[in-house]
A and B are shown apart, each in its own frame.
Chain A
Amino acid sequence: MSVLLNSESRVLTQGLGGTGKFHLKGCREYGTKMVAAVRPGKGGTDWEGTPIFDTVGQAVAAEGCDVSVIYVPPPGAADAIMEAAAAGIGVIICITEGIPVNDMVEVQAFLEDVDCVLIGPNCPGVITPGQAKVGIMPGYIHKPGRVGVVSRSGTLTYEAVHQLTQSGIGQSTCIGIGGDPIVGTRHIDAMKLFNDDPDTDAVIMIGEIGGTAEEAAAAWVKENMTKPVAAFIAGKTAPAGKRMGHAGAIISGGSGTAESKVAALEAAGITVAESPADMGTAMIKAAEKAGLDLQAA
């Protein structure tokens, strides 16, 4: 089954500029059903065989899209998310980096009344290995399997996936939730999805400094999670008050530090990797503690 995405998903691309085209192609080559694109004013034409529509509503009506991926530049990205939600798309994945926080405050309020899941913004996307890839991650490092991956970062997720694959451990679904202060899906939401997914046996969560999303997820895991969880937190050496690339990665007023996050995770029984090179082995250890041999599966 996996979460959010499977081989039946019908994917719409919003924002067909250079980046959008490049990744539409990459996702199609992976085997994803990239069935439509939206570019206002270009409706009725196509790009390499993918039909283009003027509005998301038209694309949904004609192609039955249930997932949308957004590459629209920052000034129009918030609007693109709301358009997808209003048109009834169930899973909206926003790759765009650099959306103003005030725009996301409005998006979040808008989405409260709509039944959909937003992933991102400022994220690498979602992949269910062997079934569908929606986003900018390199597909070939992944391997179908039963470990869920959730992360705020892009390349650090690739690193974790690579370590798992190298150890012979496949992934059910990998969710890049994004590095911004306001994201549609947080660690805690991803944990709930994986906990309910019969095809996921264990989860690795990759967090970073800033905010309290990891702490919230840890508290939920402690009370509710039935599957083993491993984690890594990036940013132990980051100075306070500086934005470390991601708009959300900033330590302010002593909160959001790596230490406080690691402490909260460990208190919830989560196995935390000390070094980013140990993410894969931390997952194996966490599973062993629960009597699960991931490499045998």
Chain B
Amino acid sequence: MNIHEYQGKQLLRDFGVTVPRSKMITKASEAVAAAKELGTKVVVVKSQIHAGGRGAGAIVADEQEAARVFRANLEKEGLPKHNKPGGVQLAKSPQEAGEIAAVLLGGLLVTKQTGASGKRVNRVLIEEGIDIKEELYISMLLNRETGRHMVLASTEGGMDIEKVAEQTPEKIFKAEINPAVGMRDFQARDVAFALGVPAEKISDAVKFLKTLFAAYLQLDASMLEINPLVLKGDGTLIALDSKLSFDDNAVYRQPAMKDMRDSDEEDPREQQAAEFDLSYIALDGNIGCMVNGAGLAMATMDIIHHHGGEPANFLDVGGGADAGKVAAAFKIILQDDAVKAVFVNIFGGIMQCDVLATGVVEAAKQVKLSIPLVVRLEGTNVEQGRKILAESGIKVINATDMTDGAKKAVEAAGLAG
């Protein structure tokens, strides 16, 4: 899961990582007081959304304009070729901070990462201005090849790090952490020197970096990215930005995470699915998919595409789904108005085809299903499952295998659309 910048900074602050002083506000009327309280000559007014590229992004009037700006400028270039207000702005006085906050709050922010629909700004962070000497980069993440955590640092802060890695890989410094001993002083020193921290401030930087790694590890983060990490005029480091995402498997032991979930940032259907322990991801197509197992669910999306259709979602009902869960999954799929046909593809292992069939029949009756339903069943108790569907009275298009099912679903969606 992802969290906002202001939440990430608070978490880091709690661990003892140096971050700028700031105040999160939800009403523009609070901005002037917040800026005065910070007391610096300049304050930064930052939109809080779960997407990067905010500074170069554009505050737009409505969704049509968002789509236009996204397509025209941002999608291809990732550059701010627009004359709209940006999502992060400098204010030279508390009054100006108030004026900017009024523009950002409630506005629709479109960036290269938000997609064409943009994201509504409901929170703004007012942050003290910092004496920036150098903009640097640091991130911490799992190296899947070695199964160890890794620190990536670069003097090319504020840039797109993937571009740096591609064009000037020598400017990226890597350190791999041995889990038995954690981040050692010498590794933090290596990173600090590589980042150009002045010699007399190295021990401060070592402390900063080790604290940052401790936060990454203890929070069960799947990625921590500070871009830019700032070297101040006095030679010390400060985390000017914070991007944190968390290992979903570890949320159970990070109770603070529950409160940090921002439901405005998540697809409501994905949230509902999570409540039923279903794995659902909304996509752009018109064929709803219900499958057991993540790999088969992906393969089902692929085979629909292969036969000329587009999947409306990824949905894994899991191995041990019961009839109730299947019914819930069905309802979530049908909430998407774009769905013109549903393709149920089940290979029963632990999940038995008769249980699945019962769930489908129950759900179809409850929601008064009016669009074509294609079902392909295989595996445990498949004959009983087929019998339940046949005798249910609901209209089912039976498929003999995956290809047959995908073709029939594509055809049905095409006819309906």
Give residues in A with beta carbon < 8 Å to B: 19, 22, 74-75, 98-102, 104-106, 108-109, 124, 136-138, 141, 151-159, 162, 179, 181-182, 206, 208-209, 211-213, 216, 232, 234-239, 242-249, 253-254, 258, 274-277
Contact B295 A152 (CB under 8 A): yes
Contact B298 A249 (CB under 8 A): yes
CA distance A208 to B301 in the complex (A): 13
Contact A209 B298 (CB under 8 A): yes
Instruction: Specify the chain B residue showing the minimal Cβ separation from A245.
Output: B294
Contact A153 B294 (CB under 8 A): yes
The 25 listed contacts between A and B (C-beta, < 8 Å) are A98-B249, A101-B142, A102-B220, A105-B179, A106-B179, A109-B148, A136-B349, A136-B350, A138-B349, A138-B379, A153-B295, A153-B296, A153-B298, A156-B298, A182-B147, A211-B145, A234-B299, A236-B301, A237-B302, A237-B305, A238-B301, A245-B279, A245-B314, A247-B248, A276-B303
Contact B249 A211 (CB under 8 A): no
Additional A-B contacts beyond A105-B142, A155-B296, A243-B248 (12; CB < 8 A): A100-B253, A105-B148, A136-B319, A138-B350, A162-B378, A162-B379, A212-B144, A234-B295, A237-B283, A239-B281, A244-B298, A247-B247
Judge if B403 is at the interface, Cβ distance under 8 Å: yes
Instruction: Specify the chain B residue showing the minimal Cβ separation from A18.
Output: B320
CA distance A106 to B217 in the complex (A): 12
Contact B142 A277 (CB under 8 A): no
Contact A75 B142 (CB under 8 A): no
Question: What is the 8 Å Cβ interface bit string for chain B, positions 165-196, against chain A (1 contact, 0 not)?
Answer: 00000000000001110000000000000000
Which A residues are in CB contact (< 8 Å) with B179? 105-106, 108-109
The smallest C-beta distance from B105 to any residue of chain A, in angstroms, reads 26
CA distance A156 to B145 in the complex (A): 24
Closest 9 CB pairs of A and B: A153-B295, A245-B294, A155-B293, A156-B295, A100-B250, A276-B299, A155-B296, A234-B298, A277-B403
Judge if B316 is at the interface, Cβ distance under 8 Å: yes
Contact B147 A104 (CB under 8 A): yes
CA distance A127 to B257 in the complex (A): 39
Which A residues are in CB contact (< 8 Å) with B297? 244-245
Contact A275 B306 (CB under 8 A): yes
Instruction: Specify the chain B residue showing the minimal Cβ separation from A275.
Output: B306
Tell which of A155, A234, A249, A277 touches B347, judged by Cβ atoms closer than 8 Å: A155
Contact A100 B220 (CB under 8 A): yes
| A interface majority secondary structure | loop
Which A residues are in CB contact (< 8 Å) with B293? 153-156, 245
Judge if B348 is at the interface, Cβ distance under 8 Å: yes
The smallest C-beta distance from B257 to any residue of chain A, in angstroms, reads 12
Which A residues are in CB contact (< 8 Å) with B292? 155
Judge if B392 is at the interface, Cβ distance under 8 Å: no
Contact B298 A235 (CB under 8 A): yes
For window 269-308 of chain B, which residues contact chain A by CB distance below 8 Å? 279, 281, 283, 291-306
Contact B295 A157 (CB under 8 A): yes
Contact B379 A238 (CB under 8 A): no
Chain B interface size band reads 35 or more
Which B residues are in CB contact (< 8 Å) with A243? 248
How many pairs of A and B residues are in contact by the CB < 8 Å rule? 175
The smallest C-beta distance from A188 to any residue of chain B, in angstroms, reads 11
Contact A158 B347 (CB under 8 A): yes
Tell which of B144, B252, B294 touches A244, judged by Cβ atoms closer than 8 Å: B294
Contact B298 A158 (CB under 8 A): no
Contact B250 A156 (CB under 8 A): no
CA distance A124 to B403 in the complex (A): 24
The smallest C-beta distance from A103 to any residue of chain B, in angstroms, reads 8
Which A residues are in CB contact (< 8 Å) with B347? 155, 158-159, 162
Instruction: Specify the chain B residue showing the minimal Cβ separation from A253.
Output: B162
The smallest C-beta distance from A100 to any residue of chain B, in angstroms, reads 4
Which B residues are in CB contact (< 8 Å) with A137? 349
For window 63-79 of chain B, which residues contact chain A by CB distance below 8 Å? none
CA distance A63 to B336 in the complex (A): 55
Which B residues are in CB contact (< 8 Å) with A19? 320
Contact B302 A158 (CB under 8 A): no
Judge if B402 is at the interface, Cβ distance under 8 Å: yes
Instruction: Specify the chain A residue showing the minimal Cβ separation from B296.
Output: A155
The smallest C-beta distance from B358 to any residue of chain A, in angstroms, reads 19
Which B residues are in CB contact (< 8 Å) with A242? 281, 314
For window 231-252 of chain B, which residues contact chain A by CB distance below 8 Å? 247-250, 252
Which B residues are in CB contact (< 8 Å) with A206? 295
Contact B302 A100 (CB under 8 A): no
Instruction: Specify the chain A residue showing the minimal Cβ separation from B222.
Output: A101
Tell which of B147, B349, B402 touches A276, judged by Cβ atoms closer than 8 Å: B402
Judge if B262 is at the interface, Cβ distance under 8 Å: no
Contact A105 B295 (CB under 8 A): no
CA distance A254 to B160 in the complex (A): 13
Contact A100 B249 (CB under 8 A): yes
